[in-house]
């Protein structure tokens, strides 16, 4: 299992692995927001938590379509399916690798981008905490979408269509935590719900992803 994780991390970091693309996309989206809504700092401060959450979600989504497709194309998935590692673990490791190479950098970059959008001082810690709790769910749910569309030639767009509705609860609770934090309100309820969704997704979705992958492999 460790070997698979290390290989995926290595592949992401090598040339053409796409590491940092998600991060760059996150930066670009955030920079484009003031151009589209105007530079008034009160307005930016008000929408900052939501914009940052949406940006992180899109960056996650866009980096997903290669997650399983590459291993599918070069036959690695066939070989992994006959290896001693159960497919459930394989997809979990894949999701973990995706989170480390995409989700975690997004979490760490978010406060910097928060400065660009005038995020109120109280909001920073809750923004980071909500992203830290929410991005694993984004990775796991996204892996399910990637497994569904792995065999399709142009699966990327379809995957977005399938994954986005599944992201709704995570997005709502995640940005609610960030928003309430920024406005100095109590965050406990949405925070717990967000953590619950993350925990349940991580615990249960790999079974669905593996089932779907088995169907696609045959």
* Binding footprint of another protein on the chain (CB under 8 A): 2-4, 7, 10-11, 14-17, 71, 73-76, 78-85, 144, 148-149, 151-152, 155, 158, 161-162, 164-166, 168-169, 172-173, 176, 179-180, 189-190, 193, 197, 205, 208, 211-212, 215-218
For residue 109 the two structure tokens come to 């970059």
Shortest separation between residue 172's beta carbon and another protein, angstroms: 4
Q: What are the backbone angles phi and psi of residue 189, rounded to the nearest 5°? A: -60, -55
Cα dist. 113→76, 108, 178 in Å? Answer: 37, 10, 14
Q: What is the longest distance spanned by two Cα atoms in the chain? A: 57
| 102: CB partners within 8 A, 6+ apart | 22, 23, 59, 60, 63, 139
Identify which of residues 2 and 121 has a Cβ nearer to another protein in the complex: 2
Gyration radius from the chain CA atoms: 18
Q: Which is nearer to another protein, 109 or 205 (CB)?
A: 205
**Least CB distance from residue 78 to another protein, whole Å?**
5
Q: Which is nearer to another protein, 43 or 116 (CB)?
A: 43
Q: How far is the CB of 98 from another protein (least distance, A)?
A: 16
Q: Which residues, in sequence order, are CB contacts of 144 under 8 Å at separation 6+? A: 163, 166, 205, 208, 209, 212
* CB closer to another protein out of 109 and 178: 178
Minimum gap (Å) between residue 115 Cβ and another protein: 25
CB of 24 to another protein, least distance (A): 20
Closer residue to another protein in complex, CB, 41/189: 189
* Residue 143 contacts residue 91 (beta carbons within 8 Å): yes
Cα atoms found within 13 Å of the Cα of residue 168, Cβ hemisphere only = 4
């Amino acid at each position: 299992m460790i070997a698979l994780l290390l290989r995926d991390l290595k592949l992401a970091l090598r040339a053409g692995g796409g590491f940092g693309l998600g991060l760059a996309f996150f930066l670009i989206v955030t920079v484009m927001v003031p151009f589209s809504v105007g530079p008034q700092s009160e307005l930016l401060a008000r929408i900052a938590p939501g914009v940052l959450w949406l940006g992180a979600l899109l960056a996650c989504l866009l980096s997903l379509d290669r997650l399983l497709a590459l291993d599918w194309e070069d036959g690695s998935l066939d070989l992994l399916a006959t290896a001693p590692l159960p497919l459930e673990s394989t997809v979990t490791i894949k999701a973990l690798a995706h989170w480390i190479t995409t989700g975690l950098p997004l979490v760490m970059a978010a406060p910097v981008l928060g400065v660009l959008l005038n995020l109120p001082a109280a909001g920073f810690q809750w923004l980071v905490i909500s992203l830290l709790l929410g991005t694993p769910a984004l990775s796991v749910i996204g892996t399910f979408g990637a497994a569904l569309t792995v065999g399709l030639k142009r699966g990327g767009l379809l995957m977005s269509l399938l994954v986005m509705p599944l992201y709704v609860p995570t997005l709502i609770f995640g940005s609610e935590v960030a928003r309430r934090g920024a406005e100095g309100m109590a965050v406990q309820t949405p925070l717990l719900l967000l953590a619950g969704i993350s925990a349940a997704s991580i615990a249960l979705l790999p079974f669905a992803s593996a089932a779907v992958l088995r169907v696609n492999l045959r």
